Amino acid sequence: MKMFINGNLMDKDEKIDVKNPFNNKTIDTVPEATKEDVRNALESAARAKKILGDMSARKISRILYDIYEVVLESQEEFSRIITLETGKPLKDSRDEMKRSAQTLQLAAEESKRIYGETVPMDAGIGGRTALGFTMKIPLGVVAAITPFNYPINLAVHKIAPALAAKNSVVFKPSKEAPLAALKLAELMGSHLPDGALNAVTGPGSVVGDELVTNPIVNKISFTGSVETGLSIASKVSMKKLTLELGGNDPIIVLDDADLEKAAVSTAKGAYLNAGQVCIGVKRIILQKGIADEFTDLLISETRKLKMGDPMDSETDIGPLINEEAARKVERTVEEAVKNGAQLLHGGRREGAFYTPTVLDLVDPDMRLVCQETFGPVAPIIRAETVDEAFTIANNTPYGLQAGVFTNSMESALKAARTIEAGGVMINKQPTFRTDNMPFGGFKMSGMGKEGVKYAVEDMTRTKLVVFG
Ligand code: NAD
């Protein structure tokens, strides 16, 4: 695949191999951009922002609807590329594409709803004769940087709201999974003025760093790990910044919960995409009275899962993004077991595959649950009381989403009030997202919100106009 700069495909002699995690075979290559290439992309975006800024909302909405239609028609082709480059089971890639199309549709709708407001100037001293109103105007050039695990929907969550608010974009997909992303950029770009959307590939330390530090960029919209997010935050200077970072999401099951429903939801949340989901279930906090019964139910849900070739529509669990990622999970689980956790199911690695794994008697201080373990692991922590369960849930530097299973209105309300996370799901796994809902974490899990309406708002700035 090639990069897409100023409306043209662009290749380089230096290439990066893109591998299929299922068999470690090279599927394709992408160009390795230099800082100079990134600057060219940024300059073309700077030219295009003027053209977009003059476009009517009706026109940009029409373009986004057109792109939505084409993506809808090409869903299957995109899904297969996602599965080849990430190892994500085909049925999950299909879900991702369905959602990506919807995200585009939401952006096409939202582009017509960008409102300013009138300001009651006469409420302030000296304002009695003034008439004031605000306008929401584009920021200019947006840099969108995305991770490997949802290579299309996370990209669309940045690119489509940026365009809806009439910004131009330079997009950098993950070098682990850039193929579907480059195809998307080319497809979208063919509907847009030259330079309105550019896509560059290469290492984060070169391409990412130029995007983060170049003064042409007005906003960085980043999704990825806390580590990279922190490094970006230390360099952005006066750019607007949205960070969607890692999670360590708890699912809490209380004594009065519907256990069967909770077990099904927990398995869904812990093993989706082989556990490589920011809002995946990373800690299972069980109240003492139901812990044994729930654990049996979770093991039987885990046994139902089919691990294998991700291209097979029946497969539930494919490989992790590469063997090193699976080795990292293996080491973390082994360390927990050495320190007293009890392995109840799974715990085996084969190449990039890691079997879905249930661990009981996990101590809240173990690295397995203190850091983000990005793999199909279900670590159980036992708590005596509702309060203790919520305290454990909050005892983490992360705060993306949380799930609580209970039939008590009082406990549900207490969870809503006390759990420090960007989203609290009652009787649902934290791994729940619709593409219009406000989405984004507290604490080290990030800042700012995505979800199309909220992302569009964040892609604008406010100008005040006063008539004397
Ligand atoms: P990562 O941080 O390694 O990489 C993300 C992107 O940042 C890639 O495109 C990478 O090339 C780029 N990058 C790397 N170094 C950079 C630098 N110095 N400057 C600028 N860009 C740089 O993350 P990953 O391993 O691809 O993805 C997994 C992580 O993403 C997990 O922590 C996961 O929880 C998180 N994530 C968060 C969300 C969310 O919405 N909160 C969604 C998906 C994934």
pLDDT class of 1 with cuts at 50, 70, 90 = very high
Residue range 250-434 forms a domain whose CATH class is alpha beta
DSSP-assigned states of every residue in 184-250: HHHHHHTTS-TTSEEE--S-IIIIIHHHHH-TT--EEEEES-HHHHHHHHTT-TTSEEEEE-----E
| Mean pLDDT calculated for residue range 201-229 | 98
Rounded to whole angstroms, the Cα distance separating 12 from 348 reads 40
- Ligand 1 closest atom vs CA 172: 9
- Ligand 1 closest atom vs CA 445: 41
Task: Decide: 224 and 147 in contact? Cβ < 8 Å.
Answer: yes
Give the tens place of pLDDT for each residue, 30-76. 999 999 999 999 999 999 999 999 999 999 999 999 999 999 999 99
| Mean pLDDT calculated for residue range 221-225 | 98
Bridge partners (DSSP) of residue 145 are: 172, 222
Task: Decide: 319 and 24 in contact? Cβ < 8 Å.
Answer: no
Mutate to test the pocket of ligand 1, among 225, 272, 400 (most ligand atoms within 8 A of CB): 225
Residue 148's pLDDT is what?
A: 98
Of the candidates 83, 81, 92, the residue with the CA atom closest to the CA atom of residue 183: 81
Whole-model pTM? 0.98
Residue 273's pLDDT is what?
A: 98
In the chain, domain spans: 3-245+445-467, 250-434
Catalytic residue among 43, 110, 278, 457: 278
| Mean pLDDT calculated for residue range 369-393 | 98
204 lines ligand 1 (CB under 6 A): yes
CATH of domain 3-245+445-467: 3.40.605.10
Atom 22 in ligand 1: which residue has the minimum CA distance?
Answer: 204
pLDDT class of 465 with cuts at 50, 70, 90 = very high
Clarify whether 370 is annotated catalytic: no
Give the tens place of pLDDT for each residue, 407-461. 999 999 999 999 999 999 999 999 999 999 999 999 999 999 999 999 999 999 9
- Residues written for the chain: 468
H helix or E strand, kind and range, residue 400: none
Give the tens place of pLDDT for each residue, 85-119. 999 999 999 999 999 999 999 999 999 999 999 99
149 lines ligand 1 (CB under 6 A): yes
C-alpha torsion angle, residues 202, 206, 211, 216 (rounded to 10):
-120
Mutate to test the pocket of ligand 1, among 149, 226, 227 (most ligand atoms within 8 A of CB): 149
Tokens representing 337 are 């077991």
Domains 3-245+445-467 and 250-434 share a fold: no
Specify the 3-state DSSP secondary structure of 254.
coil
| Mean pLDDT calculated for residue range 138-166 | 99
Residue 298's pLDDT is what?
A: 99
Clarify whether 244 is annotated catalytic: yes
Bridge partners (DSSP) of residue 321 are: none
Kindly state the percentage of the chain with pLDDT values over 70. Answer: 100
Atom 8 in ligand 1: which residue has the minimum CA distance?
Answer: 174
Residue 242's pLDDT is what?
A: 98
Please give the mean pLDDT across all residues of the chain.
98
Catalytic residue among 43, 85, 210, 244: 244
